[in-house]
Amino acid sequence: MARPATATINFDAILHNYRLAKSVTPDQRALAIIKANAYGHGAVEVANAIADEVDGFGVACIEEATELREAGITKPILLLEGFFSADELKYISEQSLWCAIHSLEQIDAIANADFTKPINIWLKMDSGMHRLGVQPADFQQAFDKLKALPQVADIVLMSHLSSADEPELSVTAEQIRVFDTATKALDAEISLANSAGTLAHTDARRDWLRPGIMLYGATPFAQSQALADQLKPAMTLSSEVIAVRDLTPGEAVGYSCTWRCERPTRVGTVAMGYADGYPRHAKNGTPVIVDGQPSKIIGRVSMDMLTVDLTDIPDANVGSYVELWGENLAASEVATYCDTIPYTLFTGITRRVHKKYI
Ligand SMILES: Cc1ncc(COP(=O)(O)O)c(C=O)c1O
């Protein structure tokens, strides 16, 4: 039998989540963000499964876009970080990729580039995240310059929100105010909202949404939120118990003896470790589900295995099904025990984990 570590990807859940994003502003369009191998879910597989319904895709770089074009994806694909070298522009034009532009230097590079088919540009403003984007004071000039270039087709105005997942803060409203002030004289479509913006910030829902994490069914919020509560998890990470032993009080489990039995304990060893992408720093007590029953990790996660407490699940044995996160256990809950976020859990899944698409 093959090693049972498996990530089962549910396309219906991804479609449901995309539709939920679109439902907040039925007249607007939404790019499905499938960078980083669709957040670990498989970019080509996910793109093929939802291509008929989505308005386009967003990826981080030309390599990710090329993979999709080579797989036959003809829908618009936006390069969210634009080009890294002017050499890429010819291919971007040939493949009709859409291209974010985040600096004045990139505009000069386009002006000096020689390609035939004009490119659709998403001009990005740094409205307060201070990572990428043209400064608000330079934005009008950047827009006018792009507008005048024969190499440029349509222009969408975009910005990225730093704190939309914390709706109680005023940061998002301030970013939107900065953006709107700097763009009020410009006639172009707008894109502001990532998943958290889409779900929680009415004012961020402009012409184009850019949902990422929500497509995969994970909430961007720390607290329950009415729309986010309707998301369906797209990835179930599972494996099986491969060994069982009974220990007595005082005996330790795993590397460095970080967990010791306080009572007679039945320990199950599960074929899932940090080389599969399960976080090594998952704390003692991190939830898992064994044969439908709640259990928890005891002892340190090792490279290929982790250990769980089966004491209260007497019927569990070798071969028992273990859900690490997914349909019955939210990745965001697991993430809190690992001092991380679902994004890193999903993107961390390694190729050794068998992927099953349903
Ligand atoms: C520019 C941009 N738009 C949209 C997204 C999607 O964000 P999220 O996954 O939080 O929805 C990202 C992701 O980091 C991004 O960088």
Task: Summarize the confidence of residues 304-321 as an average pLDDT.
Answer: 98
The pLDDT tens digits of the residues spanning 129-138 come to 999 999 999 9
User: Over the range 44-76, which residues count as b (16 or more CB within 10 Å of their CB) and which as e?
Assistant: bbbbbbbbeebebbbbebbebbeebbeeebebb
Residues whose CB falls within 8 Å of the CB of residue 345, separated by 6 or more in sequence, listed in order: 277, 279, 325, 331, 334, 335, 338
**Given the residues 22, 35, 216, 278, the one annotated as active site:** 35
Ligand 1 lined by 212 (C-beta under 6 Å): yes
Mean pLDDT calculated for residue range 164-169: 95
- Which ligand 1 atom sits closest to the C-alpha of 158? 1
Give 32 Cα–ligand 1 centroid separation in angstroms: 10
Neighbours of 106 (CB within 10 A): 23
Query: In the predicted model, what is the mean pLDDT of the chain?
Result: 97
| pLDDT of res. 209 | 98
147 an active-site residue?
no
Based on the residue annotation, tell me whether 216 is a catalytic residue of this protein: no
199 lines ligand 1 (CB under 6 A): no
Which DSSP string do the residues of 62-127 spell out, in sequence order? Answer: HHHHHHHHHTT--S-EEETT--SSTTHHHHHHHTT-EEEE-SHHHHHHHHT---SSPEEEEEEE-S
Q: Is the alpha carbon torsion for 254, 258, 260, 266 positive or negative?
A: negative
The residue-averaged pLDDT of 103-117 equals 95
Look up tokens 């590397």; give the residue.
255
Among protein residues, the one whose CA lies closest to atom 8 of ligand 1: 212
Distance from Cα 160 to the centre of ligand 1, integer Å: 8
Judged by phi (left if over 0) then psi (alpha if -120 to 50, else beta), residue 82 lies in left
Compute the distance between CA of residue 153 and CA of residue 155 in angstroms, rounded to an integer: 7
Q: Are strands 265-270 and 287-290 parallel, antiparallel or unpaired?
A: unpaired
Mutate which of 14, 99, 160 for ligand 1? The one with the most ligand atoms within 8 Å of its CB, which is 160
How many angstroms separate the CA atoms of 11 and 261, rounded? 41
**Whether 94 contacts 114, CB under 8 Å:** no
Confidence category of residue 290, pLDDT binned at 50, 70, 90: very high
Which of helix, strand or coil describes residue 58?
strand
The stretch 70-88 carries a mean pLDDT of: 97
* Per-residue pLDDT at 149 exceeds 60: yes
What's the chain's Rg over C-alpha atoms? 23
Q: For the whole model, what pTM was predicted?
A: 0.96
Task: Tell whether the model's pLDDT for residue 1 goes beyond 60.
Answer: no
Distance 199 CA to ligand 1 centre (A): 13
Considering only CA atoms, which residue is closest to atom 13 of ligand 1? 212
Which pLDDT score is estimated for 116? 87
Of 17, 31, 33, the one to substitute when testing ligand 1's pocket (max ligand atoms within 8 A of C-beta) is 33
Instruction: Check residue 26 and give its pLDDT.
Output: 82
pLDDT for 188-243, tens place per residue? 999 999 999 999 999 999 999 999 999 999 999 999 999 999 999 999 999 999 99
Q: 25: helix, coil or strand? A: coil
Which ligand 1 atom is at minimum distance from the Cα of 81?
A: 1
Three-class secondary structure of residue 301 per DSSP: coil
| C-beta atoms surrounding 29 within 10 Å | 15
**Could you give the domains of the chain?**
11-218 (3.20.20.10), 235-357 (2.40.37.10)
Q: What is the pLDDT of residue 139?
A: 98
Taking residues 111-124, what's their average pLDDT? 96
